[in-house]
Amino acid sequence: MNKLTSLISGAILLFIYLLVQLLERQGILLAYHVQILSLCCINIILVVSLNLINGFTGQFSIGHAGFFAIGAYASAYLTVTWQVPFIFAIICGGILAGIAGLAVGLPALRLRGDYLAIATLGFGEIIRVIILNTDAVGGARGFSGIPKYTTFGLAYLTAIITVVVIRNFVNSDYGRACLAVREDEIAAESLGVNSTYFKVLAFTIGAFFAGAAGTLFSHYLQYMAPTPSQIGFVKSIDILIMLVLGGLGSITGSVIAAIVLTVIPELLRGFAEYRMIIYPILLILVMLYRPSGLLAGQEFSLASLAQLFKGAKAHGNHS
């Protein structure tokens, strides 16, 4: 059963990839459409990685764009100045962001809840201001002339790797320790869980993937602007909205929310002003009536679908 479902999942994922390739070659999907699909993949990476920190470990971070920015700029600097191979740049972008995650995770040990939230927000803004003042990456003018190395296929593959890695992490003892820290830090400690270590670990892994997403992003758009909406707190809050609407602690929810909330604004381009009214209202309503998000910790998978067909009660596989 288990082998079979992963085989089927793999086949479906491959099919989607081939379908996109085919439609693109036929001219049915335009470059603009493929760009949106690639952005979907990048946002999936961002939201799922933020979910590890916020949803699974319960550390409220709203500075995810900071890690994203580090990956985006550092990798672009590497490819532009030193012409390093792209794969290497992705990994470097991820590792540098991961180191930043480590640096942010350490203070997280001493801060809780809302204080941590503000500190991470502040961290993100500091990163942005530093970039704004660094001429080597274009400073306030923005960073242009980045080679276009990111393809849809690469973004798609990275998104799949991210989802699989984080899902497996969450379903291992390491992930359970993170859940324990989220649920009750004192009880977790009394059971031998070093809560400090797991907070830092979650931040580091989450930041690594956010950095990778940044790399993909900068090498897709070929231009980075140090604005709040691209690498600042507006971006962080965008990611947070996707996470919350999809549901803290639900990977499936993150994936779906990332796709839906990337595509819908593109469809509703004429309503851009209303979007920023509807989102916050949605956010507040979800918190009032369904605070665990629309999918509320549930996971959707082929296995659970099969169980549903069998008439058995389907339930999340991590919780």
SS3 string, 33-79, reads HHHHHHHHHHHHHHHHHHHHHHHHCCCCCCCHHHHHHHHHHHHHHHH
Residue from 13, 84, 91, 130 binding another protein (CB under 8 A): 130
Cα separation, 54 vs 48, in Å, equals: 10
Which 289-308 positions form the footprint of another protein (CB under 8 A)?
A: 291, 297
CB of 143 to another protein, least distance (A): 16
Residue from 148, 173, 267, 309 binding another protein (CB under 8 A): 173
Q: Does 165 bind another protein (CB under 8 A)?
A: yes
The letter for the amino acid at 306 is A
CB 183 within 8 A of CB 56: no
Backbone angles phi, psi at 260, to 5 degrees: -60, -45
Indicate the residue among 85 and 280 with the shorter CB distance to another protein.
280
Q: Does 160 bind another protein (CB under 8 A)?
A: no
CB of 24 to another protein, least distance (A): 32
User: Comparing C-alpha atoms, which of 53, 66, 205 is closest to residue 122?
Assistant: 66
Indicate the residue among 56 and 220 with the shorter CB distance to another protein.
56
- One-character DSSP codes across 174-210: HHHHHHHHHH-HHHHHHTT--HHHHHHHHHHHHHHHH
Q: Does 81 bind another protein (CB under 8 A)?
A: no
Q: Which stretch binds another protein (CB under 8 A): 9-17, 19-27, 263-271, 275-283?
A: 275-283
Number of helical H runs and strand E runs in the chain: 14, 2
Residue from 121, 146, 221, 258 binding another protein (CB under 8 A): 121
Q: Binders of another protein: how many residues, by CB under 8 A?
A: 65
Cα separation, 191 vs 47, in Å, equals: 30
CB of 21 to another protein, least distance (A): 28
Q: Does 207 bind another protein (CB under 8 A)?
A: no
Q: Does 117 bind another protein (CB under 8 A)?
A: yes
Q: Does 180 bind another protein (CB under 8 A)?
A: yes
Q: Give the residues across from 224 on adjacent strands.
A: 143
CB 71 within 8 A of CB 211: yes
Cα 248 to Cα 59, 81, 124, 268, 294, distances in angstroms: 11, 39, 21, 26, 9
CB of 146 to another protein, least distance (A): 22
Q: Which stretch binds another protein (CB under 8 A): 15-23, 216-224, 273-281, 299-307?
A: 273-281
Using CB under 8 A, list all residues that contact another protein. 54, 58, 60, 62, 107, 110-111, 113-115, 117-119, 121-123, 125-126, 129-130, 132-133, 140, 165, 168-169, 172-177, 179-180, 183-184, 186-195, 237, 240, 244, 248, 273-274, 276-277, 279-281, 283-284, 287-288, 291, 297, 315, 319
